[in-house]
Amino acid sequence: MTFEALKPKVTEITANTSISKDEKLMKICELLEANVDYYTWVGFYFANHETKTLHLGPYVGAPTDHTVIPFGKGICGQVAVSNENFVVPDVQAQDNYIACSFTVKSEIVVPLFVNGENIGQIDIDSNVLDPFTEADERFLEFVTAEIAKLY
């Protein structure tokens, strides 16, 4: 399914008033993982600015031990500090990468802003080398903007 075809489905999920915020996040994870061939693991991390840590939220994919990530550590931790998208074409080439699974080849992380504050991020792993393009970034920015409306 194309990103353009997925956008109204994302909006439909976020607009659904009969389910909780976490259920909406889980449905978005499921939607993306099921409809983008190279999205192997899709999840959310949320920031605790007092402890400078990220905490795992809803996700789909292989279980992860990385339920709490310090700011600055790994790709997600770096995005918590930089407030910028981070696309990693080859995780093997990254010094500050936290391996979740030996099958993961690439990763994209896009921050989630609410009122200008980075409150978390969407994190996507792929078992494909270098699949992410600018189209993925723009689409995931759309997704995070839709999710921001929930806060």
Per-residue pLDDT tens digits for 60-101 = 999 988 999 999 999 999 999 999 999 999 877 776 666 666
Domain ranges of the chain: 3-148
**Cβ–Cβ under 8 Å, residues 110 and 132:** no
Per-residue pLDDT tens over the stretch 127-149: 999 999 999 999 999 999 999 99
State residue 87's pLDDT score. 95
pTM value is 0.94
Q: What is the pLDDT of residue 31?
A: 98
Mean pLDDT, all residues of the chain: 94
CA-derived radius of gyration, the chain: 14
Homologous superfamily of the 3-148 domain (CATH): GAF domain (3.30.450.40)
